[in-house]
Structure 1
Amino acid sequence: MNIKKIAISVALICLSSSSIAVEYKIGGFIKASGRIASGEVPFDHYYFGSGNIGEDSTKTQFSAQESRLNGSFKEGDITGFVEIDFVGSSQGNGNVSNSYSPRLRHAYINYNGFTVGQTWSTMVNTSAFPETANLGGPLIGENMVRQSLVRYTYENWQFALENPNTFGTDINGKSLSKDEDSIPDAIARYNLQGDWGNISFAGLVRQLSPSENEDEVTFGGSVAGKIAVGSKNDVRFTFSHGNLGRYFSTGGVFDIYYGEVETTTGGTIAYRHFFNEDLRSTIFYGHSVSDIQKMDRSHYGINIFKSITPKLSLGSEIGYYSVDDKLNQYLPADIQVANGGSVYGQLVLQYNI
């Protein structure tokens, strides 16, 4: 995302009469979106890992809740960043005011190779996200987690301890207690980059507790990146496999399902093509499957974006989100697993601050 920042340099006078330059920046964007979706997957502002199937319906919604505001500072070797948006707020409704509560996306400090605070998980390579009108793109096939962490970066390596949080059910299908989340998740990542683009290799190790008296060490891995095609075009991809749970598919897969540690496989692929300096298009596909839940979901689409000015872009997108889940061993045999999908069209106007 190309965001032009407004920089303000402020000179602070210390007691020792020496001056320390502190640079502040304000950024973000204003995004207006119109979306119409039709099908068996209930309408949502964007498609994430949800697989609920309902009656066939059609809905249109206009919204500005994806708009963001961020600020950063730099003082010597210390930098900090904080960002909010308004997505997912339960406060607003369409009756009168359409008010939305701000939510914290990022709040972290960098110093001497350490990153401390809330930001993207080390499993996430943001350059692999395709440019889409749908927020986040094909989330069902992406690593998409923001959380509190402590990360150390040395040259091409990154090592992190991140917030543990179990997402799943016990052997009776009831939500697991989070009281056993005592050991941080550990992630190691290696980054390769050059004029050709970048590729990251990330591995996740964590302790999960499928039951009260059982602990299990689990593993997951991911390869993601962005590869240049010619001078401006690019291919973006993610491939992930293992006991990834909540780190993958944005809520589509449990860490633990009926007392068993889940295994997931999936990814995304996208190609972005520039027709000229101001006109570009992306075609994308995301897919994920799981071993125990028998989840099988896909999201694909195509869009076109026009840069009206260097800071103002107009985009349109059409796509399809499908659910093809299978009957798993923990569901009663007489239950019919509902499958279906929804097609959507979206128009966005975005001004980068």
Structure 2
Amino acid sequence: MKHSKLAVLVSGIMLATTGTVQAATDMTFGGYIKTDVMFSDYSNGAPDSGSLSRQFYVPGTIYGTAGNGKQVVDFQARESRFNFKTVTDVDGHKLTGFIELDFMTHTDGNERVSNSYSPRIRHAFVSYDNWTIGQTWSTFQNPGALPENLDFVGAADGTPFVRQALIKYTNGNFQVALENPETTLTPNKGGARITSGSGMIPDVIGRYNFKSDGGSAFSLAAVLRQLNVEENLGDTNNPNHVDSSEFGYGVSFAGVVPVGKDDFKFTATYGEGLGRYMSLNFANAGVLDASGDINTITSYGGFVSYRHWWNEQFRSSFTLSGVSVDNDASLTGDAVNKEAYSGYVNLLYSPSKPLTFGVEYMYALNKKESGADGDLNRIIFSAKYVL
């Protein structure tokens, strides 16, 4: 009883002291529940159960596992997500907080009994007027131009796709941001990817959003980044100390063009040293030469997608996507990724606005510098309910 009275007293004090703030704060909960059933055919043998490629299409992961069966089926609800948002008026200033979680990419669970997977952070940021601080979409990416595909990313090989911590300032149509740096490199003559978090210079990104009189929306973004590595790449008995840096850059143009009720979406991207910013890190940003210096790797790609509404409840998207990498095989070796292409066609049915059922066929082909390749045929059935 005493504890109950104390709780009531504390609650009353909190309400009294924060009543003004609470009255000016809007809180919303959102997200969706999505279940996928995926029938996949890998040309060289399917990856093991739980592998990332079994969750969604990741360029560079479909070359197959020798000895495994080629045809597999996966059921999952891991794309389901939830988010919480607050918007507060602080003396005429807009303060927003947002956090969103889902259950993708983890390998900490299994499909044997409970399919238990840990939640992961997608977004976690605070914005105050024109400033945004926290983790969200990279300023280099335009998520509004992504196609409406059932695959988790959709057009993964042809689009920038990065979420990371940043500090961003927005002024009208202009955005400029300092974002988390992370360098991925190929060792000289090839080998396991080097991931380096050394370096003191954030990635600098600028973006301009604009619209036409006809309602089309476009974005032009550019990134300038320092590639940096400073570490021992050998074992403890034979250390090979490397200390090198180089600058990389990239540009990306994206848009959404209405065609009556339909729409046309696209993204085109080019860069030297883009690395992880493009195609889910299909290629690294650079390669080390014999002297331990970084040589940037050029990559370019894009996608086009047309969405057609058959009527008020049925719609389809037709998507083509691809990326190509200019490797210097004398430095990278021939086991590195060279090209990736994918195509998608789907039919979605929404009997009511928050509920969607759909089926999608996708085909993907990945090639290495050596000429080795792997392809994936996949049919996805999905049910999605937006909270």
TM > 0.5 between the two? yes
Matched, 1:249 2:303: no
Cα contact 1:210–1:256 (8 A) shared by 2: no
Residue 182 of structure 1 is matched in structure 2 by: 200
Deviation of the 1:19 alpha carbon:
6.9
- 2:156 is aligned, of 102, 123, 139, to 139
* C-alpha spacing 1:219/1:160, structure 2 compared with 1 (3 Å): same
Please show how residues 154-233 of structure 1 align to structure 2 within 5 Å.
154-171=171-188, 173=191, 175-176=193-194, 178-194=196-212, 196-209=215-228, 212-230=242-260, 232-233=261-262
Matched, 1:321 2:364: yes
Counterpart of 1:50, as a letter, is: G
Q: How many residues align?
A: 333
- 1:296 is aligned, of 331, 339, 342, to 339
The CA distance in 1 between the partners of 2:21 and 2:282, in whole Å, is: 54
- 1:94 is aligned, of 111, 117, 121, to 111
The CA distance in 1 between the partners of 2:36 and 2:16, in whole Å, is: 45
Residue 382 of structure 2 is matched in structure 1 by: 348
Matched, 1:240 2:269: yes
Deviations 1:203-237 (A, max 9, x none): 0001113673432122110001111111x210000
Residue 106 of structure 1 is matched in structure 2 by: 123
Please show how residues 51-90 of structure 1 align to structure 2 within 5 Å.
51-54=61-64, 55=66, 57-76=70-89, 77-90=94-107
1:140 match: secondary structure: helix
Residue 332 of structure 1 is matched in structure 2 by: none
1:320 match: secondary structure: strand
Counterpart of 1:287, as a letter, is: G
Instruction: Mark the runs of 5 or more structure 2 residues left unpaired by the alignment.
Output: 1-13, 48-53, 231-241, 289-293, 328-335
Instruction: Mark the runs of 5 or more structure 1 residues left unpaired by the alignment.
Output: 1-10, 328-336
Counterpart of 1:70, as a letter, is: N
Counterpart of 1:67, as a letter, is: S
Deviation of the 1:325 alpha carbon:
2.6
The CA distance in 2 between the partners of 1:18 and 1:235, in whole Å, is: 43
Residue 40 of structure 1 is matched in structure 2 by: 43
1:168 match: secondary structure: strand
Residue 23 of structure 1 is matched in structure 2 by: 26
RMSD of the TM alignment (CA)? 2.0
The CA distance in 2 between the partners of 1:102 and 1:171, in whole Å, is: 37
Output the TM-score relative to the length of structure 2.
Answer: 0.81
Counterpart of 1:157, as a letter, is: F
Deviation of the 1:127 alpha carbon:
1.2
- 1:278 is aligned, of 288, 313, 331, to 313
The CA distance in 2 between the partners of 1:137 and 1:178, in whole Å, is: 28
Q: Structure 1 vs Structure 2: percent identity of aligned residues?
A: 34
Counterpart of 2:31, as a letter, is: G
Output the TM-score relative to the length of structure 1.
Answer: 0.89
Counterpart of 2:201, as a letter, is: I
Deviation of the 1:140 alpha carbon:
0.8
Cα contact 1:13–1:19 (8 A) shared by 2: no
- 1:121 is aligned, of 138, 154, 167, to 138
Deviation of the 1:18 alpha carbon:
8.1
Cα contact 2:208–2:220 (8 A) shared by 1: yes
Cα contact 1:79–1:110 (8 A) shared by 2: yes
Counterpart of 1:94, as a letter, is: E
Cα contact 2:87–2:95 (8 A) shared by 1: yes
* C-alpha spacing 1:19/1:185, structure 2 compared with 1 (3 Å): closer
2:144 match: secondary structure: helix
Question: Once superposed, which parts of structure 1, at least 4 consecutive aligned residues long, lie more than 6 Å away?
Answer: 15-19
Residue 334 of structure 1 is matched in structure 2 by: none
| Structure with bigger gyration radius | 2
Counterpart of 1:64, as a letter, is: A
Counterpart of 2:185, as a letter, is: G
- 1:269 is aligned, of 304, 319, 323, to 304
